[in-house]
Amino acid sequence: MTIEKTLAFKRHVRSIWISDVHLGYSGCSAEHLLGFLRQMRCENLFLVGDIVDFWSLKRRRYWPQDHNNVVRSILGKAKHDTRVIFVPGNHDEVMRDYDGLTLGNVEIRDEYIHETADGRRLLIMHGDQFDSAVMHSRLIGLVGSKLYDSLLYINGLVNWVRRKLGRDYWSLAAFLKERVKNAVDYIENFERAVAREAKVRKVDGLVCGHIHRPQIKTIDGRLYFNCGDWVESCTALLEHHDGTIELIHYADRAEVITTLPPRITEQAA
């Protein structure tokens, strides 16, 4: 019964943050995201980067109807009562050239400072900006950023050869990142770099995405919020009207919502 209620009435919150949706990539859970967006109403919707996966689209053109519907749902909110701010990530970094531009009521910002209802200032950025800090300190630090840049250049050459041989694209950066990512301390280093930035920028906390690890915690007195993603986690951050922030795992709830109603009907019958 309560489930039906949550479906019938849209939940209203002050703000929603989502990141790492990866539209245009086959791993994107657009269906879940659509379900979530349709259930929610908010004053502010923050798109925290990697919303469209241009990297994946470049490799393979994939754009099913569900992905259109997500874009339409977001634009629909932007047209009505929601302020939509898009902070691009590394997979949609082409949009970073348009900092300050408003497209179809969607404001594009390289980064943005949001003030919560209880007066906390939160810096919003995608998070790939901390890759260099994390990678330099962990792995690339051994050889220096100049060499890392050279490696990326060599990576381009390697892929040119691979293309000539009809082989798939192979990313050195992704490979290194994956290796470092697998290390237990990658996430810790990332989070610490984020907290350091929050301190330098004199904000109470930072909201980001990028590493696909949903999280709310305090590090060295600064708030660390990670939106997670819509590839595996299906998570979002919500700001309630009193300023408290909640991390929700939508897929878990969606499962409950799709499995429970038939049972209720059964009982009723």
Kindly list the residues in this chain that would bind Mn ion in the complex (CB under 5 A): 50, 89-90, 128, 210
Identify the CA nearest to 121 among candidates 238, 241, 235, 223. 223
Q: How far is the CB of 90 from Mn ion (least distance, A)?
A: 5
User: Under 8 Å CB-to-CB from 239, ≥6 apart: which residues?
Assistant: 13, 14, 15, 16, 17, 44, 116, 117, 245
Q: What is the DSSP string of 50-103?
A: -SB-HHHHHHS----HHHHHHHHHHHHHHHTT-EEEE---STTGGGGGGTT-EE
Nearer to Mn ion, 50 or 191 (CB): 50
Nearer to Mn ion, 89 or 228 (CB): 89
d(CA 224, CA 222): 6
Q: How far is the CB of 82 from Mn ion (least distance, A)?
A: 24
* DSSP 8-class letter at 12: E
254 exposed, middle or buried (CB, 10 Å; 0-12, 13-18, 19+)?
middle
Q: How far is the CB of 131 from Mn ion (least distance, A)?
A: 9
Tally the C-alpha atoms within 13 A of residue 105's C-alpha that lie toward its C-beta: 16
Q: How far is the CB of 1 from Mn ion (least distance, A)?
A: 40
Nearer to Mn ion, 110 or 204 (CB): 110
Q: How far is the CB of 211 from Mn ion (least distance, A)?
A: 8
Residue number closest to Mn ion, CB atom: 210
Residue given tokens 């019938």 in the structure block: 8
Nearer to Mn ion, 71 or 173 (CB): 173
One-letter identity of residue 208: C
Nearer to Mn ion, 50 or 82 (CB): 50
Q: For 259, left (φ over 0), alpha (ψ -120 to 50), or beta?
A: alpha
Q: How far is the CB of 268 from Mn ion (least distance, A)?
A: 46
Q: How far is the CB of 231 from Mn ion (least distance, A)?
A: 11
Nearer to Mn ion, 40 or 193 (CB): 193
Q: How far is CA 88 from CA 36, 42, 204, 230, 257, in A?
A: 21, 20, 22, 16, 32
Nearer to Mn ion, 90 or 171 (CB): 90
